[in-house]
Amino acid sequence: MCAKSKRLMDAAFIRRLEGIVGAAHVLRSPGDLRNYQYDGSIDQALPEVVVLPGSASEVAQVVAACNDRGYSYVARGAGTGLSGGAVPETGGVVISTGRLHRILDIDVANRLAVVEPGVVNADISAAVKQHGLCFIPDPSSQAACTIGGNVAENSGGLHCLAYGVTTNHTLGVEIVTPEGELVWLGGRTVDMPGYDLLGLFVGSEGTLGIATKVIVKLTPIQEAARTMLAVFNSVEDASQAVSGIIAAGIIPGALEMMDRVSTQAIEEFAHAGFPTDAEAILIIEVDGLRASVDEVAADVRDVCRRNHAREVRFAQTQDERERIWKGRKSAFGAMGRLSRNFYVQDGVIPRSLLPEMLREIAAISEQNGLQICNVFHAGDGNLHPLILFDEKKPGDVEKAVVAGEAILRACIERGGSVSGEHGVGTEKRDCMAVQFSPSDLDVMARVKAAFGNRGLCNPHKIFPTSRRCGESSRRMQHLAPETAAATGPAF
């Protein structure tokens, strides 16, 4: 069953929401609604009302109210997502987790914490640092993004190469199902019996319910870490060094790559000490026991030198290390120095094909007349090409969408995927039909139906529509009326 089309909400429904969460936590003014019409993607759609529950019980009651009246709803955390997953494409209700921001329990002995979905990612590590622990997944937006969104998108981060992404650090989730029921998936121990419903939920992008509590694993902070900057005169050499490091049996805690244009923008913005004349740089971090870290770091340095690194620089102080990582995490923000807008993609390819894929991206850039910068998790082949455009320039949005689609198709053709950590959302849902067969998609749809088949819980996300790969509601505004009409409605 599809979500019902947008319609004017009745006063009785609004009063019911106010009775659940309090009138002060039901937002309806145009200014408030505009703040919730977008995430970090290029899509936008206005909700009809925003609700801020203060407890799991209130979330369940809001979902029940939506079900009774047939209104669609979408959960939203900090709005830092990059695939349109939190954009209320059909209007309806945005359920904000902004008030659910408590760390409920820190269990040092069992190395876990129980948190609400609105807790900021970085705040978890800050709260447990005194115990020598941390929460591993660290997206570039970790100072703002919240754990509910990280669970929804199965977010990765700069230090997930050796340690895994959000699903590898999530023990349990309390959720409100699309039927309005409050249930637990997983728990406080590893490997709960039965089907891995927790594994299904993490990465389901809010389509299988709303997380109201999350039990996360905590990891001991490593005894020592060495951070280095390897500088190359060609992207090809840097890519070969990445393959060489992994082939040598070394799995660094982090292995990041940036091209020259990206590095120049970042250096102007963050003053991280990056060389601005290099065609590519690698940021590599190895960690572990103090006795072995220096030896592994030396092996990494040697691999880089064999692949023609002109310089391999080690961070000498904690301040220098932090400046390097601040520079990497500032990459997306720094793009504002180059362009009014950017459109970031999230394709994945086998590591060995990095040189070939980067040449393909350069060709796509030339074909579409748009500059594309490359900043990505090189160690696991997770690309983040940044397509620069100006939404006020006629034709630029369409060119950016076409370029993004071409990049994703090229990833699929090379045995890769349309997403590594940003999710599918609205942005890449029609590319799913390129990567997966109808039978594959049918199995996924049946899983979604098993959680609740009303079609109201974050509708029109992940699954293909009749639109072409990469096309969404906001992009439709830039197409000619006859073209937009020809695509047909979403289902």
Q: 356-369 pLDDT, tens per residue?
A: 999 999 999 999 99
* CATH number of the domain that residue 84 is part of: 3.30.43.10
CATH code at position 370 = 3.30.70.2740
> Helical H runs in 84-156?
121-128, 147-153
Q: How far is CA 113 from CA 105, 188, 316, in A?
A: 5, 9, 33
Judged against a pLDDT cut of 60, whether residue 9 lies above it is answered with yes
d(CA 140, CA 455): 32
Q: What is the pLDDT of residues 214-228, one digit of tens each?
A: 999 999 999 999 999
Q: For position 484, what pLDDT does the model report?
A: 33
| Amino acid letter, residue 187 | G
Task: Let me know if residue 66 belongs to a domain.
Answer: yes
What percentage of the chain has pLDDT greater than the value 70? 93
| Residues 305, 328, 82, 152, CA torsion sign | positive
Q: How many CB atoms lie within 10 A of CB 44?
A: 17
Residue 2 lies in a domain: no
- Interval 301-306 mean pLDDT: 98
360 and 320 both lie in a single domain:
no
**3-class DSSP state of 407:** helix
Same domain, 396 and 471: yes
Whether residues 238 and 147 share a domain: the answer is no
- Is 462 in the same domain as 346? yes
Which residue, of 311, 332, 353, is where some domain finishes?
332
Cα distance between residue 181 and residue 77, in whole Å: 21
Q: Are 436 and 346 in the same domain?
A: yes
Return the higher-pLDDT residue of 41 and 487.
41
User: Is residue 159, in this structure, part of any structural domain at all?
Assistant: yes
- Confirm whether 3 is domain-assigned: no
Domain that holds residue 278: 224-332
Same domain, 350 and 475: yes
In 233-384, the DSSP E strands lie at 254-259, 280-288, 311-314, 341-344, 372-376
From 96, 122, 141, the end of a domain falls on 96
**Looking at the structure, do residues 474 and 362 belong to the same domain, yes or no?**
yes
- Residue 104 corresponds to which tokens in the numbers above? 């409920």
Q: Average of pLDDT values for 26-38?
A: 96
Quick one: 460 and 347 in the same domain?
yes
What is the domain count for the chain? 4
In this prediction, residue 466 has a pLDDT band, given cuts at 50, 70 and 90, of low
- Which of 34, 66, 96 lies at the terminal end of a domain, its last residue? 96
Of 25-29, 43-47, 464-468, which gets the smallest average pLDDT? 464-468
Do 88 and 117 lie in one domain? The reply is no
Question: Does any domain span residue 491?
Answer: no
- 6 in a domain, yes or no? no
Handedness of CA 56, 57, 61, 62 (dihedral sign): negative
Residue type, 32: D
Q: Check if the beta carbon of residue 173 is closer than 8 Å to that of residue 182.
A: no
Q: Is residue 4 part of a domain?
A: no
For 15, other C-beta atoms within 10 Å of its C-beta total 12
Judge if 193 and 248 occupy the same domain.
Answer: no
CATH of the domain at 242: 3.30.70.2190
Q: Which amino acid is at 60?
A: A
Residue-level pLDDT at 193: 87
Q: Say which CATH number the domain at 109 has.
A: 3.30.465.10
Work out the angle at residue 373's Cα, subtended by the Cα atoms of residues 372 and 374, and round it to the nearest 5 degrees: 125
Residue 5 in any domain: the answer is: no
Q: Which of 4-8, 80-84, 452-456 has maximum average pLDDT?
A: 80-84
Judge if 215 and 232 occupy the same domain. Answer: no
* Crossing angle (nearest 10°) for helices 235-247 and 354-368: 150
Residue 349 and residue 477 in one domain: yes
